[in-house]
A = this chain, B = another copy of it.
Amino acid sequence: MTIHLSELSRTTGVPVPSIKYYLRERLLPSGVPTGRTRARYDESHVRRLRLIRALREVGDLPIEAIRRVTAALDDPDLSLHQVLGVAHHALAPPPPPEDPPELVEVEALLGRLGWRVSAGAPAKRGLAAALASLRSIGDDVDAGIFLRHAEAVGPLAELEIASLPVDEGPDRAVERAVVGTVVFDAALRALRLLAQEHHSATRLGPQAEDAT
């Protein structure tokens, strides 16, 4: 399949000016020229545009972060795992400027869980910051407070990685990983609030004793 720019726009739902912008910014590889101002595109451009749209609209990533992801995808020396790492790091909130002292405890927790994680993973700093927040309001807790939460999300993450469509090419696998990470984050947040409301009604509501 090869198509012109207007068809590429129709197929993907991405407006022509946006496609031209992604071409200029090299997020999207050039097509094969068919004239002075025309080129033809193929399935790989459709997949890449779907990925860019997912990173922008679902992942809410800035162009610079999207560029890091597409550059990793186009680097033949990187494995899919390494590309996913770039995408995951782009999705994590920016880490604090200095390593929090709680980072040592987070490393110990990860060791206890047997999780192998790269040294620079921003999520480690995010977890350390969460521990610091609990202490700042006077809670006498250690990183073990997160063990139960880790055991709850570990199997979910394992299933998510196992169900990535790796046979459909790296663009598609990264799109699924990013969308899954963002959408199920929102879903987990919503579900936790709903479960809290249910258990609050059961335990603390005006008719708590009728709730069984």
Contact A81 B201 (CB under 8 A): yes
Return chain B residues, CB-CB under 8 Å to A93.
Answer: 186
Within 8 Å of chain B (Cβ to Cβ): is A15?
Answer: no
For residue A208, give the distance in angstroms from its CB to the closest CB of chain B.
8
Contact A137 B81 (CB under 8 A): no
Interface code A162-200, partner B: CB below 8 Å = 1, 0 otherwise?
Answer: 101010000000010101011111111111111111111
Contact A84 B161 (CB under 8 A): no
Interface bracket on A = 35 or more
Within 8 Å of chain B (Cβ to Cβ): is A10?
Answer: no
Contact B127 A196 (CB under 8 A): no
Contact B137 A175 (CB under 8 A): yes
Return chain B residues, CB-CB under 8 Å to A199.
Answer: 157-158, 160-162
Q: How many copies does the complex hold?
A: 2
Q: Which of A23-31, A38-46, A61-69, A117-125 contacts B (4 or more CB under 8 A)?
A: A117-125
For residue A189, give the distance in angstroms from its CB to the closest CB of chain B.
6
Within 8 Å of chain B (Cβ to Cβ): is A205?
Answer: yes
With A88-B197, A129-B186, A194-B121 given, is the CB distance from A202 to B58 under 8 Å? no
Return chain B residues, CB-CB under 8 Å to A1.
Answer: none
* The 5 A-B residue pairs with the shortest CB-CB distance in the complex, in nearest-first order: A157-B195, A126-B190, A115-B198, A123-B193, A81-B204
